[in-house]
Amino acid sequence: MHRRLSPINPLCLTLFAATLTVSPWCAAETAIDFAIPAAPLADALLQFSETSGVKVFFSSQLAGNLTGNAVQGRYTPQQALQKLLTGTGLTPQTAADDTVTLEKSGKPLAPQSNADTAALPSVTVLGKATSDPNDPYYSDYHLPNASAATKTDTPIMETPMSIQVIPKQILKDQQAIRIKDALKNVSGVFWATDPMYEGFQMRGFQTDGTTTVYRNGLRIRRAQHEVVNLEQLEVLKGPAAAMYGRIEPGGLINVVTKKPLDTPYYSLEQQFGSYDLFRTTADATGPINDDHSLLYRLNMAYQSNDLFIDTMEQERVFFAPSLSWRPSDRTEVNLNLEYQHDTRTNYTGLPVLGNRPINVPVSNYLGFGSDNALAIHDKVIVGFDWSHQFNDDWKIQHRFHYYNLDYQGNNQSFFNNPVNPVNNTAIRGTTTTPIDITDTVATNIDLTGKFKFLGTQHRVLAGFDYFWETRDGQGFAKTPAPASHRPVVDVFNPVYGPVPLPTASDFNSFSTLTQSWYGTYFQDQITLFDKLHIMGGGRYDWATRSSGAATTSIEAARSRETEVQNEAFSPRVGVVYQPWPWLALYGNYVESLGGANTALASTGKPLDAETAQQHEVGFKTELFDKKLLTTVAFYELTKQNIATADPSNSRFSVQTGAARSRGMEVDVSGQITDGLNLIASYAYTDTEITQDNRGNQGHKLWNVPRNSGSFWAKYTVQDPVLRGLNFGAGAYVIGEREGNNENNWQMPGYVRVDALIGYAWNVGRSKITTQLNVNNLLDKTIYETSAFGGYLVQPGAPCNFMGSIKVEF
């Protein structure tokens, strides 16, 4: 296991010394067994600390590129420490105040014999060894803090919301190359969109890929996220409008990207797998100047592969440089860029026959199979942020990003209805979208502070944010004549062939969208008696959204734009009580401003925005020396003002729609014992459409299983002879789900089993890791989600493997 240790306060440590605080009450020591291999000094000291109980705090500069010696045998901790340091040029020194410091000696240490027991006094270091989650070698499954819920770096145990964090080690162990592959480890989160974007259902409510996912706390729209520069994923359950503004009520996913480091690190990984997968990634970071005030990082990825679906292929190029400037120990400025180019065969899924997905191999492609049936995404993100710490208590932080998505898509096979059971045919059509451009600007500024008042501790936040988006789309979208575009397909015997693309003169679909909003928010986190944590706050939003559509031109679409304006206050309150440090009881009440209703009432007046409320209670535990975190949540979430068709005039809408979701969620992640990490979840989700004028009242929400769960565990062998060997396995269980809100067809449940075996070893100062993952080991037929109007299903891959070899130094 590789971890770098971080100092509690870097300002208290010099470049060449680390302090160990000694207990003056210790009298004598006994020898214990050590099995520490030769390794980078930071790793060797960590293993020494875990074996002996002596907790070492030191700066990364102290360890540098030094290598610790192997310590094999029975020694006292003092003997083992000196043997480990032999030849490093670091000497342990004992001071009169019972402290031991590691000092640069300028000459090697002499080895110490087993019989020499008086060289160092008995020591016990007060405090606890910590490791930096941003360190590339960080291997824990549990992160104690998160910022998505409160916009402050708050311990999860003190946060009165359900929040789960997926660190990068889980992505490494599972070889997750899309964020949906990682989010299967979190309860109540389901992929729910077409393959081109990443949208999810959380606590039963769909978010269509446009309002769920945030990047470093700022909204990102219609994107696929590359994981090579991903530090961690934070999943906040329940409405997040009190901090983030207009959003669907199920929750929020925050993608945290990697930042430059002041310690040089380089890695190169080659992955290969089923369906001709070839994926190369690289990561390089370190200081640019001698005083480490200017840092860089560069993440790159190239991927080329077929898919398990016939005739489908994809290719990706990704490039993400970033810079950090630290002119002082209180000020930091960061600049980052992402460029991503994706090319992929368009795909919409398999149709429905009767009340189930059609019984054909999931590899069947029922589109045209034409070489020009491609979707091309070009994504550019320019991000900038800065922060300044006025003093130990007050800080200001500003974030900004500009996002551009240029999408072009041709020949998308499209099924509007179930398969005809008489002749087993379905209708397919041609769409082309040569112009689909999205521009987004998002920014916020936060002021945070800490103070004490009348015996209470306060952590306050005040902030302002702004979001703006514009999107124009032009193309062709309809079912063409059979003679020219082969619209009918025999689902059991598809025929492929080239299809002529519509020209500009054929375009019949033009759309515009402009939306913006700004909001101001505040929050106070109050602590009483170190056991009671009270959070209160809210946000006021001013939101505007206008959209238009036409069949003749983009100008006609703009001339028909309808504007919807909303204002709302979204309050949030929560409380945490910790009777013991390892147990936290919590509850919250949240109100939420949801999506804009762009439909019009028969009076011509725009409909009000959707709203939601949540009641939640639960408890959290931190067990096994705070290495294992458990969250158990019970919630009821309701949503109102859903637009439905006006019974008297279908061209207009009324706000009679409402839905409810209630359930229980369990999430567990962390370390059980040395070498054994796990992450597990279970969700019971009971959804119901409570109001509807289309005959769906009393139905379940689509794509939401009543029962679902996951379990993944990895064990790293601790025996010195087999050190570096690791293996793991997991199972993912999804119950039966409704395919649409009409509840007239269902997707069957499934059980997916995955497995892992890997081996890591050191070669000089480098670490080499080889790994093999097998997914869907039992080769089960999997249907992941439905999409495109409720009569198409997205299948999952059959049994497949992914191997990798990675070099780090």
- Rounded to an integer, what distance in angstroms lies between the CA atom of residue 336 and that of residue 252? 23
Contact 315, 326 (CB under 8 A): no
Q: Which residue has the tokens 């890929």?
A: 209
Q: What pLDDT was estimated at residue 700?
A: 94
Q: What pLDDT was estimated at residue 403?
A: 95
Helix (H, G, I), strand (E, B) or coil at 485: helix
Contact 219, 244 (CB under 8 A): yes
> What would you measure as the largest C-alpha separation in the chain, in angstroms?
96
DSSP category for residue 782: -
Domain(s) of CATH 3.55.50.30: residues in the chain = 10-104
Q: What pLDDT was estimated at residue 131?
A: 61
Q: Which pair of structure tokens corresponds to residue 554?
A: 């983009």
Angle between helix axes 77-85 and 41-52 (nearest 10 degrees) is 170
**The CATH number of domain 10-104 is 3.30.2130.30:** no
Helix (H, G, I), strand (E, B) or coil at 687: strand
Strand (E) or helix (H) holding 466:
strand 456-478
**Single-letter code of the amino acid located at 426:** A
Domain(s) of CATH 2.40.170.20: residues in the chain = 265-808
The residues of the chain scoring below 70 in pLDDT are 1-30, 55-64, 93-131, 194-196, 207-211, 369-372, 411-417, 478-487, 497-500, 597-606, 648-652, 788-789
Q: What pLDDT was estimated at residue 216?
A: 95
Residue 157 CB-density burial (10 A; 0-12 exposed, 13-18 middle, 19+ buried)? buried
Strand (E) or helix (H) holding 137:
none
Neighbours of 145 (CB within 10 A): 14
Nearest to 572 by CA among 278, 244, 83: 244
Residue 317 CB-density burial (10 A; 0-12 exposed, 13-18 middle, 19+ buried)? middle
End-to-end CA distance of the chain: 15
Contact 438, 396 (CB under 8 A): no
DSSP category for residue 351: E
- Rounded to an integer, what distance in angstroms lies between the CA atom of residue 69 and that of residue 604? 79
> 277-311, pLDDT tens digit by residue?
999 999 999 999 999 999 999 999 999 999 999 88
Q: What is the CATH number of domain 265-808?
A: 2.40.170.20
Q: What pLDDT was estimated at residue 140?
A: 92
Nearest to 517 by CA among 471, 570, 464, 561: 464
Contact 404, 439 (CB under 8 A): yes
Residue 748: φ, ψ to 5°: -70, 150
- Rounded to an integer, what distance in angstroms lies between the CA atom of residue 434 and that of residue 342? 15
Q: What pLDDT was estimated at residue 671?
A: 94
User: How long is the chain?
Assistant: 809
Nearest to 576 by CA among 521, 531, 613: 531
Q: How much is the pTM? A: 0.82
Q: Which residues pair with 646 in a beta bridge?
A: 649
Contact 121, 94 (CB under 8 A): yes
Nearest to 187 by CA among 734, 738, 754: 734
The H-assigned helical ranges of 35-156 are: 41-52, 60-63, 77-85
Q: Which pair of structure tokens corresponds to residue 480?
A: 């063409």
